[in-house]
Structure 1
């Protein structure tokens, strides 16, 4: 949970949403007051964020010193945080002293960065952090967000219509993954497949009227494009989808339990006028993902089956008794209960309709 909060805070910081970043870092401190990485990240935020009203050299130094004290082996990144804090306070002699230690201890992969910062402090320039947003763009304009590894409680602890979401069980995802920030758009689909099956036309609207088989074909063809050498694309597993949707939360939605706020985050029956809308017009969740609570249902990799109890690592349902694939997220004709983070439904993989789309996960080969 702490690592989820820290990574989510980093996403907020990359978006320059410093109040949200600080809120997550402080939650992490409440859970574990003596985790060095939380203090280290707070030191860099207070020392170098672009929000003038949030920078505070004294607080930066306090957290940098705490991180240094907590780590048994003095780690170069903590010396670098100390240097940034001193620079923010205008104490450049001390900043240079600490940055030299960071330079001497840093691995070769980070040596140039430490040398650059040392020069900066010698020129009496403070450290400024442009952001740590882990967003990337592929050759056809699809944007991806790096989602950190972590643990979460999968499923719904509350009563649902079909109880497909029980029992609640702990899931461990051992590797980070890159998730599409938006649902695949019609423009992107047409670039890869050459056709657009959608009923509600619009280049930036999510592609719909696609079957699971169609979505898999898109992933395979995109992976084979010359400009995508080194990457492969696939549908998210159901566990990856829910983990990314929750973004560290345990509530019904990624924004809380109050469905009166749903219209701020997704398109569903109360606000959609029964048609899809351009991707990304609503608020994102804390991982920076849009339309996870409505616009179109999204295909997942898994076959649909009942959950098993107990802890499970990197789950994927490779076969199902009902021969249906999982769909997630809710859509334009659905009520709020279909749009919960945990809500799961299913459909035969060869079927399609105007409420069905998908988003993809990218991996490095």
Structure 2
């Protein structure tokens, strides 16, 4: 009896310790580098996606507001930075270290397409120093970074869906911004047209939302997985949708969220949707134009998520793009 009780107590203690390690998230190490990625735990739940018809600032593509259920996931605390992206770009640490025994995926890192190294300053003079957000990357480049990170860590990383992004941005609120209906406190939470000084800034300098995410409003706008459809929400008008995603059929347009350092307050609302465009490669002199870099999107970057239910291997390309890049 004593042995049974003791064994039970040890088991319960172990369970408690395992759960208590960091219930709010974790820090992702990257073998071969001192850089880390802080991942915040986003609880699952139901929310109203889009804007109410009563919102005078709402755009047509934000309505109708509809009920969406989101499964819990992790999201990067900050936007992905230049120094993190350079780890993928330079590919110097690909085979340094080993995969965790808790790996969920096994990906051949040598088979992952590498982005071309640009010969001009893609930051447009704003800097690529530590803590500054990556910009001017295409959705493909952002997705391949996620594939590379997945291969390095054994965890499945990808861009957030549009619904996941808005849910995380709102952080339990239903107001225009995560901090309220008015933009009066926007300076406390975001870099945007009026206070940015014409440049992006180091991540994490403003106040986070209630779920500990920084720069969801402003600094740089953020690429997501979904293809852009102006009337997408009309499909969901009368029913609750679970973890929706609209995979893009073409390179453009896709959805971009959050607003940026060049935008007015209205574009920083939680529900605001921006469509990417091939005009973001307007000044690219190459033919064909780069699949990896924009020349005219110094306001667009990305952040990443990790999901708890890993998709089937046959579906990886839906999230990371094709294996072979022409």
TM-score (norm 1): 0.62
Name the counterpart of 2:222: 298
- Structure number with the bigger relative contact order (C-alpha 8 A, sep ≥ 6) is 2
Name the CA distance, whole Å, in 2 between partners of 1:279 and 1:248.
22
Which of the numbers 184, 195, 198 marks the counterpart of 2:123? Answer: 198
Contact in 1 for aligned 2:133/2:203 (Cα 8 Å): yes
Give 3-state SS (helix, strand or coil) of 2:245's partner. coil
Distance 1:323 1:354, change over 3 A: closer
CA RMSD of aligned residues (A): 2.7
Name the counterpart of 1:287: 211
Which of the numbers 36, 40, 46 marks the counterpart of 1:151? Answer: 46
Distance 1:106 1:249, change over 3 A: farther
In the TM superposition, what are the counterparts of 1:130-279 in structure 2 within 5 Å? 132-139=23-30, 140-157=35-52, 158-160=55-57, 162-173=59-70, 175-194=71-90, 195=117, 197-199=122-124, 200-201=126-127, 202-225=129-152, 228=153, 230-279=154-203
Contact in 1 for aligned 2:135/2:220 (Cα 8 Å): yes
Which entry has the higher C-alpha Rg, 1 or 2?
1
Offset of 1:164 from its aligned partner?
1.5
Offset of 1:339 from its aligned partner?
0.2
TM-score (norm 2): 0.69
In the TM superposition, what are the counterparts of 1:302-321 in structure 2 within 5 Å? 302-305=226-229, 306=231, 307=233, 308=235, 309-310=237-238, 311-319=240-248
Offset of 1:104 from its aligned partner?
8.5
Offset of 1:106 from its aligned partner?
6.8
Offset of 1:218 from its aligned partner?
1.2
Give 3-state SS (helix, strand or coil) of 1:293's partner. coil
Query: What runs of 5+ residues in structure 2 fail to find an aligned partner?
Result: 91-116, 282-293, 311-326
Name the CA distance, whole Å, in 1 between partners of 2:190 and 2:36.
22
As a proportion of its length, which structure holds more helix? 1
Give 3-state SS (helix, strand or coil) of 1:260's partner. coil
Give 3-state SS (helix, strand or coil) of 2:142's partner. helix
